[in-house]
Amino acid sequence: MKLKVCGMKYQDNIDQVAALQPDYLGFIFYEKSARYFNTAIPQISNTIKKTGVFVDANLDTVISKIQAHQLQAVQLHGMESPEYCKLLQHTKLDSASRPIEIIKVFSIKDNFDFEILKPYETVCDYFLFDTKGKLPGGNGYTFDWNVLNDYTSTKPFFLSGGIGLEETEKLQSFITSKASKYCYAIDVNSKFEIEPGLKNIELLKQFKKSCHFE
């Protein structure tokens, strides 16, 4: 199971979190977010995938951020269409750039129609399931993971939405369940914060150790 820490904002804190070797670090390029990132990403290990988080952004803006920050993945957190994802998928970037991983987000509350995913199957690399709330992410509470028992795809997905240290036991139970068969990564954010964008390193250390991330 992979680990993604999202909503990074402060330079020193980025270095501290990167030292824990998560698989992905997320940077939010959405101006309305309290975790909006508008500085340079410090030099971090090439084993950590720098992920840009966007909400219905202009495609040129996304491409510009990919190139400026040498992002390895993009997380689309808005109402981006399959056509939008396809355009991004086929955009020619700098020759030095690796292929960009596309993570398409879908929000869940009490139930979800997995048929919605079908048009996205060939135009993204992963799905991410988050909790439906007032904000596009960072709402701080979980959805009913039992909904994922009805997952009809074989596309690997990220599990997100209000996951904190207190969810460790529940998460370990989920990881051994049928619903987690295609769960590729766990995405954490607000439950590990001292303030928006500033992560609590000790809590992250405990979480990483207790959940035995690769």
Q: Where are the domains of the chain?
A: 2-210
The candidate with the shortest Cα–Cα distance to 55, out of 67, 70, 42, 65, is 65
pLDDT for residue 48 is more than 60: yes
Q: Tokens 């020193």, residue?
A: 12
Contact present, 28 and 7 (Cβ < 8 Å): yes
Neighbours of 195 (CB within 10 A): 11
Return the pLDDT at 95.
52
Contact present, 174 and 167 (Cβ < 8 Å): no
**Eight-state DSSP code of residue 110:** S
Q: What's the pLDDT band for 139 if we cut at 50, 70, 90?
A: low
Return the pLDDT at 133.
65
Return the pLDDT at 214.
63
**Beta bridge partners of residue 131, listed in sequence order:** 108
Angle between helices 11-18 and 201-210 (to 10 degrees): 20
Quote the percentage of the chain above a pLDDT of 90.
86
- We find that the CATH architecture of domain 2-210 is Alpha-Beta Barrel (3.20)
pLDDT for residue 135 is more than 80: no
Query: What is the arithmetic mean of pLDDT over 34-42?
Result: 96
Range of weakest confidence among 51-55, 96-100, 109-113, 134-138: 134-138
